[in-house]
Structure 1
Amino acid sequence: MNPYVILAFVVGAIVFLGIFFHYVPFFLWLSAKVSGVQISLIQLFLMRIRNVPPYIIVPAMIEAHKAGLKTITRDELEAHYLAGGRVEKVVHALVSASKANIELSFQMATAIDLAGRDVFEAVQMSVNPKVIDTPPVTAMAKDGIQLIAKARVTVRANIRQLVGGAGEDTILARVGEGIVSSIGSSENHKSVLENPDSISKLVLRKGLDAGTAFEILSIDIADIDIGKNIGAELQMDQANADKNIAQAKAEERRAMAVASEQEMKAKAQEARAKVIEAEAEVPKAMAEAFRNGNLGIMDYYRMKNIEADTSMRETIAKPGSSGASNKPLG
């Protein structure tokens, strides 16, 4: 026989077997048969056609069968995979729940998985509770002393509330709110430092896990530190504010007084200006009176005598005056 024909036959056989074992995973079918899982080669071939990987579905069926979960069917696993679920996580969770005597149905597990939660981790958390450390929570007692508390919250997953239930952030927020409320209701910071368990007891009684995906088992205060004296700082700030207000009012009064003084000076200068203006009109009036004959020479001398007498009196009245006299005319 022609060696080229033999080579072509061998190559063709290899290609055929490769395609056959790709679409018909014979060894996977054999593994399922040995494990007691009933599945045919045609079903494995149809999985390939439906773009469902047999290497995910068949091992999951084997695991469920070996764990005694014989109610899980191939169609259910395929449907969950096509819906975007994680088949391995769901089967692992169902097996763990079965071994731990936790009631978990396939429908519930797939719903939790499709909701975006790790159902296998949730089952493990139900068996082995998780400890969540809260960030530092700052609160102030009634005496004005600030306290900084840290708590450790032990939670267990609530399988029934995993779909639609709130997560860890809600638990931490509620616990922090409870700590602030408990410290704020204390008469003084010393009582909180003496009995830190009173905080955890008060917070635990509030039922903070309602509507969440967790069940709070315990709340323990890990650490409490003393912060600032907020009451004293508030009093100092109030005193500074009062001082600034008083200074502002005093400055306002001073400015008003200065403005009033300036106004009085302006009025006095205006009055002096009017007096000088009036005095400047006197000679004109006298000259006009002389021309009209309303003022005689004797009247003029008497007026000058009165002015001289007035000037003498003013000079005598001044301090340190020597008593010099100005004799009146005539």
Structure 2
Amino acid sequence: MDDPQFLIMAAVFLIGGLLFLVVAFVGIKYFNIWLRAFVTRTGIGILQLIGMSLQKVNAMVIVESKIMAVQSGLPPIDTRALSAHYLAQGNVRRVIQSLIVAHRAKIDLDWDTAAAIDLAGRNVLDAVQTSVDPKVIDCPDPRRGSGRTTLDGVAKDGIQLKARARVTVRTNLAQLVGGATEETVIARVGEGIVSAIGSSDSHKDVLANPMLIAKAVLDRSLDSQTAYEIVSIDIADVDVGENVGARLQADQAEADVRVARARAEERRAQAVATEQEMKALTQENRAKVVLAEADVPKAIATAYRSGNLRTKKAIASNGQ
């Protein structure tokens, strides 16, 4: 048992057995997926598959994505870039599918741009499909929280118009990262429609040719700095609402009546106050007269005592 040769042979058999087990384990785990990668000429070797497992990268996702890219004729994409995107919590399959759609539709989109869009939280596949097949947005959209079903504007003649529009947009991939979303497009279009109705001289002009509104809105380039490009704006419906001008005039007339009544009441109150002041002054003057009349007997008595009071008889005798 202590023979060195025997120990060496045992160690060799042990190491060989371990290597056999490792090779068998690797073969069982990675052979099928390596064979698929080899047959489809993706350029992914067995060592790369083992490295993906060590990095906790789903090798099946990477291989299937690489197969889709190769068979679709996409430009070569580095396997390390796919693994890095997977580790960054990106959706590798979706990015590859978006590149395939863009390639078939002859849309200029490379891996870096598509990966950046995906990592930004946008659905890059939906964006590319919208570029190929534009989608229609209702304006206003009652499902987005506002609850409004029409865009209400008032023409210069005072008649309210209720409009509904349908906006056809396609994705602007160059501004998808950092560009404004659908809510911004809907808000801008709604503002433009209301402004166009308000600038119309008569509501009849809008009813006769609703496309005047659409043309006025399109001329304002409302899709700037957004993730979408407005293809067309179609006025789906225009209804006549209230006569806002007449109602405002009636409200103004009622307000003027209230102001006139308030001013008349103010003048009446001032007249009543002046009348009361005059009555008080009259009473004051009467009191002064009474006081003056009370002083007359006193003056007569004083004149009599001082001899200054003369009767008519005395005055007549003095005259003779």
TM range (shorter): 0.7 to 0.9
**Distance (Å, rounded) in 2 between the aligned partners of 1:217 and 1:301:** 127
Identity %: 56
Q: How do 1:16-35 and structure 2 match up within 5 A?
A: 25-35=30-40
- 1:197 counterpart (211, 217, 225): 211
- Aligned positions, number: 284
CA contact (8 A) 1:145 1:229 kept: yes
**1:246 Cα shift?**
0.9
**Is 1:39 aligned to 2:44, yes or no?**
yes
Long gaps (5+) in structure 1: 1-12, 303-330
Q: How do 1:121-132 and structure 2 match up within 5 A?
A: 121-132=126-137
Q: Please list the CA deviations of residues 77-110 of structure 1 after superposition, one character each: whole Å capped at 9, or x if unmatched.
A: 1222233322222111011111222111111111
**Is 1:210 aligned to 2:224, yes or no?**
yes
In the alignment, what sits opposite 1:255?
269
Q: Please list the CA deviations of residues 172-219 of structure 1 after superposition, one character each: whole Å capped at 9, or x if unmatched.
A: 222223222322232211121111122223322333223322222211
Secondary structure (helix, strand or coil) at the match of 2:163 reads strand
**Distance (Å, rounded) in 2 between the aligned partners of 1:24 and 1:70:** 29
Secondary structure (helix, strand or coil) at the match of 1:107 reads helix
In the alignment, what sits opposite 1:265?
279
AA partner of residue 167 (structure 1): T
In the alignment, what sits opposite 2:144?
none
Q: Please list the CA deviations of residues 62-91 of structure 1 after superposition, one character each: whole Å capped at 9, or x if unmatched.
A: 221222225111111122223332222211
- 1:281 counterpart (295, 302, 312): 295
Secondary structure (helix, strand or coil) at the match of 1:48 reads helix
- 2:108 counterpart (91, 103, 109): 103
**Distance (Å, rounded) in 1 between the aligned partners of 2:31 and 2:287:** 126
In the alignment, what sits opposite 1:59?
64
151-160 or 76-85: bigger deviation: 76-85
- 2:253 counterpart (231, 239, 245): 239
**Distance (Å, rounded) in 2 between the aligned partners of 1:183 and 1:171:** 18
Secondary structure (helix, strand or coil) at the match of 2:165 reads strand
**Distance (Å, rounded) in 1 between the aligned partners of 2:312 and 2:64:** 143
70-79 or 161-170: bigger deviation: 161-170
* Rg (Cα) greater in structure: 1
AA partner of residue 179 (structure 1): I
Secondary structure (helix, strand or coil) at the match of 1:207 reads coil
Long gaps (5+) in structure 2: 1-17, 141-149, 316-320
AA partner of residue 294 (structure 1): N
**Distance (Å, rounded) in 1 between the aligned partners of 2:274 and 2:215:** 68
**1:299 Cα shift?**
6.8
CA contact (8 A) 1:24 1:41 kept: no
Cα gap change, 1:301 to 1:30, in 2 (>3 Å): farther
Secondary structure (helix, strand or coil) at the match of 2:222 reads coil
Cα gap change, 1:78 to 1:284, in 2 (>3 Å): same
CA contact (8 A) 1:24 1:44 kept: no
CA contact (8 A) 1:137 1:148 kept: yes
**Distance (Å, rounded) in 2 between the aligned partners of 1:132 and 1:255:** 63
**Is 1:69 aligned to 2:83, yes or no?**
no
**Distance (Å, rounded) in 1 between the aligned partners of 2:91 and 2:33:** 20
**Distance (Å, rounded) in 2 between the aligned partners of 1:87 and 1:301:** 144
Cα gap change, 1:25 to 1:251, in 2 (>3 Å): farther
**1:25 Cα shift?**
4.6
AA partner of residue 213 (structure 2): I
